[in-house]
Amino acid sequence: MSEALFILQNTFGYQTFRPGQEDVVSSLLAGENVLAVMPTGAGKSLCFQVPALVRGGLTVVVSPLVALMEDQVAALKLAGVEAETLNSSRSYDDNVLIWRKVAAGQVRLLYISPERLMTERMLAALAKLPVRMIAIDEAHCISRWGPSFRPDYEELARLGPYFPNATLAAMTATADTATQKDIVERLFGGEGKTFVSGFDRPNIRLGVELRSAWKQQLLEFLKSHAGESGIVYCLSRKKTDEAALFLNSNAIRALPYHAGMDAEDRAIHQDIFMTEPAVVMVATIAFGMGIDKPDVRFVFHANLPSSMEAYYQEIGRAGRDGLESETNMLYGLDDIRMRRMFIDQEDTDEDHKRREHKRLDQLIAFCETSSCRRQCLLAYFDEHIEPCGNCDICIDPPDLIDGRVIAGDIFAAMEGTGQVFGAVHIVDVLCGANTDKIRKFNHDSLPAYGAGKAHGKEGLRSIIRQLVASGFVNLDTAGHGGLSLSEKGFRLARGSESFNYRKEAAHKKSSPENRPRTALSTGLSQADEDLYNRLKVKRLALAQERGVPAYVIFPDKTLVDMAYQKPTDKDAFLGVYGVGKAKTEKFSNPFMEVIADYLGN
């Protein structure tokens, strides 16, 4: 561990390990297989990079995305580490040259995709080399229990016999208990250590909102994040394109990203998002896995994600630098119906579908909770905290109203219409509307006709949605969204269950004092903030010269410390957070010139 600490300080520029890192590093150095479940931004990569340099030989890193591999290799090279990647973005000749370096023992870390690694030719070639460790990033993809299962990852379970002397490290931010056990069984044959460092990301403000006018809700949210980078998730390709066009028409630079686009266009858009400031990526879930951009200030869901794990993973792309960030999710009854339909249409067995429905149930409960959202989210991962004070429920607690009477009226309307109609028609009946459908079926003669008029259409829609979310009402996903009473609903009708509904507050306009401080949360004085901004300009210029994202040169946290310390010689520069010896040699002069100019020297 003393050698590990030396490398941490001199190569990577960090004086101490972060919480959770040291145990993982120690176990890997001891040759033990390890699954590390650590929140995004907690430093998972260092947990295998440091042991790789201590142990020598070759470490193979399995990573899901070409762009991510390229960025991580660029960052390691700037830190003086012999790292390379074999991937499809490189020419055949380049890949041949890189392989020769690997075979000659000149590479410490080789980044490669699971598809390329698990070819018989690559496995046979690597088996001849001194592979000391294999690190698998985004390891939850190996598990059929997880929400992001990928068949190409499942193949990684065959690695053991090829590399009997290699230590295996599996890294992920997203794995519940069942997924953790499945990963350990598949990769390690049940033998290995599991370290869970917690799931809380307290710098991320959580918000959920009933969808009404989604474009205006999105625009209003983004107005409070002007000049910042973020991600907007949409359920469909069509909505992704529509949202990107809408944002651009409102002077917000937004790029679409979905599987229906040409692969080259997707790569260009991802590169722009990663390397340029103040870009909004509007995407389906095709975008995001392994994205290592630290200054994503917000994540906005225009639709309900597929599960709690998917939601946690997607919001985890915000605030990796530890600065305050914000998330907001819109959802409605149509989301619930679509998600149920997607599950039912999957080509999987009934047991898998049952698990996925339960996962969705827990996400819906999270949306409808009347207590701290972070408590609800973390409880899903068996982690328990006090109310966070940084979610919409904590900041503005909702009003709860006894809903037994209106629930009875809704049930009467459902039963009177045969329990086959959707929410739109039930609301029309309860409001006493005069529609063709109501007249056709004589539903204006029902006792429930007009019984809910006092609640209004929006109020009734909200209450029905909460009845569905709470399990009192079933939603027919195979048909046209018809509502029917569940067993729990029958108990409520008989008076043996209670139901309190949340009154939806009127949508509140964003106000600066009620928004999280983000990019300015540096703790610097106003004068040093000016220096910090000058250092960011220099960093961007250096990054563009090298064709890498700005954070690969230095993360924001390093520039903040640089602006605070104002080093004027190399020894002092080496003392800045996140600055090792190689980066001191490469970058001390250009940054110290900015500091000297600022100080008037």
223 shares a domain with 334: yes
Claim to verify: residue 299 and residue 376 sit in the same structural domain? yes
179 pLDDT more than 90: no
* 91 is a domain residue: yes
Going by C-alpha positions, the residue among 155, 207, 165, 172 that lies closest to residue 38 is 172
Where among 196, 230, 260 does a domain terminate? 196
Do 19 and 145 belong to one domain? Answer: yes
Query: What band does 518 get if pLDDT is binned at 50, 70 and 90?
Result: very low
Position 103 in a domain: yes
Q: End-to-end CA distance of the chain: give it in Å, rounded.
A: 42
How far apart are the C-alpha atoms of 110 and 124, rounded to whole Å? Answer: 16
Same domain, 412 and 532: no
Number of compact structural domains in the chain? 4
Banded model confidence at residue 147, pLDDT cuts 50, 70, 90: low
SS (H, E, C) 272-313: HHHHCCCCEEEECCCCCCCCCCCCEEEEEECCCCCCHHHHHH
Same domain, yes or no: 306 and 429: no
322 inside domain? yes
Reading the block at residue 187, the tokens are 């990769």
360: pLDDT confidence band, cut at 50, 70 and 90? confident
- For residue 509, being part of any structural domain is answered with no
Q: Rounded mean pLDDT of 246-264?
A: 94
| Structural domain for 185, as ranges | 2-196
CA distance 491 to 185: 42
pLDDT digits (tens, 9 = 90+) for 581-593: 999 999 999 999 9
**Which is more confident, 518 or 108?**
108
Radius of gyration for the chain, computed over Cα atoms and rounded to the nearest angstrom? 27
Same domain, 85 and 172: yes
Is 470 part of any domain? Answer: yes
Type of residue numbered 95: N
Phi (first) and psi of residue 302, to 5 degrees: -80, -10
The reply to whether 585 falls in a domain is: yes
Question: Taking 90 as the threshold, does the pLDDT of residue 290 lie above it?
Answer: no
Q: Which domain-ending residue is among 395, 420, 439? A: 395
pLDDT tens-digit map of 443-452: 999 999 999 9
| Residue 513 pLDDT level (bands cut at 50, 70, 90) | very low
Q: Within a domain: residue 486?
A: yes
User: What's the whole-number mean pLDDT along residues 150-154?
Assistant: 82
Q: Are residues 389 and 415 in the same domain?
A: no
468 and 378, same structural domain?
Answer: no
Q: What is the CATH number of the domain that holds 464?
A: 1.10.10.10
Query: Do 275 and 142 sit in the same domain of this protein?
Result: no
Residues 350 and 234 in one domain: yes
Residue 477 has what pLDDT? 61
Distance CA 554, CA 536 (A): 9
Among 157-161, 211-215, 252-256, 467-471, which stretch is predicted with the lowest mean pLDDT?
A: 467-471
- Name the one residue in this structure whose structure tokens are 């039930």: 426
| Percentage of the chain lying above the pLDDT 90 cut | 62
pLDDT band at 478 (very low <50, low <70, confident <90, very high): low
Tokens of 434: 């005069």
* SS3 of the chain: helix, strand, coil, percent, to 5: 50, 15, 35
Question: Mind listing the pLDDT tens digit for each residue in 77-117?
Answer: 999 999 999 988 889 999 999 999 999 999 999 999 999 99
- Is 508 among the domain residues? no
| Span 371-417, pLDDT tens digits | 899 998 998 888 888 999 999 999 999 888 999 999 999 999 999 99
Element (H, E) at 526: helix 526-546
Same domain for 184 and 55:
yes
Q: What are the b/e assignments for 499-508, b being 16+ CB within 10 Å? A: bebbebeeee
* Confidence (pLDDT) at 409: 97
The pLDDT score that the predictor gives to residue 511 is: 44
pLDDT of amino acid 145:
65
Structure tokens at 89: 């973005």
Mean pLDDT, rounded, of the chain: 90
Partnered with residue 87 across adjacent β-strands are none
263 and 311 in a single domain? The answer is yes
515 pLDDT exceeds 70?
Answer: no
> What pLDDT is stored for residue 516 in this prediction?
45
Average pLDDT, integer, range 556-563:
92
Angle between helices 308-315 and 373-380 (to 10 degrees): 120
Of 372, 395, 418, the last residue of a domain is 395
Q: What is the CATH number of the domain that holds 294?
A: 3.40.50.300
Q: What is the mean pLDDT of residues 512-540?
A: 74
CATH of residue 563's domain is 1.10.150.80
